[in-house]
Amino acid sequence: MPLPTIEVPTYTTALPSTGQTIKFRPFLVKEEKILLMAMESEDEKQITDAVVTLLTNCIQSRIKVRHLPMFDLEYLFLQIRGKSVSEELELKITCNDDNETQVDVTINLEDVEVVKPKGVKDTIKITDDIAIKLQYPRLDTFIKSNFTQNAKPEQAFDIITQCIDKIIEGDQVHEAANATKKELTAFLDSLTSKQFEKLQEFFANMPKLTHTFNVKNPNTGVDNEYTLEGLASFFG
């Protein structure tokens, strides 16, 4: 006699970048095992494959996971994790008014949103004639930020290099896809510090998972405000 088949529930959420309705299901034990084994291996390719497999299997709408910006991926992973494990996250917070008292806090993952700063432009003017059009970091950055321990000092520079979409010189448009990494790196190396800071501002102000909450210190009665930003801050 065959064993019973368990029906997996499905849910919907809105993609932060576009508002598109996304249908998804919780991850299964077999998918969680693959992810945990990949993380234990510390092999970046295994981790990438495991994350892509998990997201692709769980997301039932027609979207290309590898092409989504990092904040969409973080939001979707948080939503899937909430429906798979628990929508409540238990944290132990140290009150910052005395840097000593610890308080248990419960966060409802449904309250976590992607905050989009206003007035951020993706085309950065470097000189009177040259501008750089940027795109948000995608899957590789999402994985390096949240699932690996191999962060390197040059990673921030590499992220900017990977996120160049176009270099606009007057009426001429240079597609980054047609340039080598060496050429793009050399171009960035030729910028002044002030010009490079303009690019960094784009990434510093990009949309991110954010949740702000208050905790009262039971010993002092002082209210402490905390802000969690990015997926790693919720589970790191």
- Residues, the chain, total? 236
For residue 146, pLDDT over 80 is answered with no
For helices 70-84 and 44-58, angle between their N-to-C axes, nearest 10 degrees: 70
User: Does the pLDDT value for residue 43 go beyond 90?
Assistant: no
- Give the torsion sign (CA, 28, 58, 70, 188): positive
**DSSP-based three-state secondary structure for 167:** strand
CA distances from 88 to 31, 33, 77, 178, 225 (A): 21, 21, 15, 46, 19
CB atoms closer than 10 angstroms to residue 95: 20
| pLDDT beyond 70 at 148 | no
151 has a pLDDT exceeding 70? no
Q: Is the pLDDT of residue 234 over 80?
A: no
Burial of 119 (0-12, 13-18, 19+ CB in 10 A): exposed
pTM of this structure: 0.84
Predicted pLDDT at 187: 96
Amino acid occupying residue 35? L
Least confident of 44-48, 134-138, 178-182, 227-231: 44-48
Which of 44-48, 54-58, 142-146, 227-231: highest mean pLDDT? 54-58
The stretch 78-106 carries a mean pLDDT of: 92
Partnered with residue 103 across adjacent β-strands are 93
The predicted-structure confidence for 182-209, as pLDDT tens digits, reads as follows 999 999 999 999 999 999 999 889 999 9
Averaged pLDDT, 20-45: 88
